[in-house]
Amino acid sequence: MKLPHVLSRIAIYLLSLVMIVFGILHFLHPHDLMNYVPAFLPGGIIWVYFVGAAFILVAIAFITNTMVKAAGYLLALLLFIFVLSIHLPNYMNAGNQEMKQLALISLLKDTAIACFALYIGAGAHHQKLHMEDSD
Write the pLDDT tens digit of every residue in 6-55. 898 899 999 999 999 999 999 999 999 998 888 888 888 999 999 999 99
* Every domain of the chain and the residues it spans: 3-123
d(CA 73, CA 114): 8
9, 23 in Cβ contact below 8 A? no
107, 81 in Cβ contact below 8 A? no
d(CA 22, CA 84): 19
Residue 67's region, left for phi above 0, alpha for psi from -120 to 50, else beta, is: left
* 49-103 confidence digits (pLDDT tens): 999 999 999 999 999 999 999 999 999 999 999 999 999 999 999 889 999 999 9
Residue 40's region, left for phi above 0, alpha for psi from -120 to 50, else beta, is: alpha
When pLDDT is cut at 50, 70 and 90, the band that residue 1 belongs to is low
d(CA 80, CA 29): 23
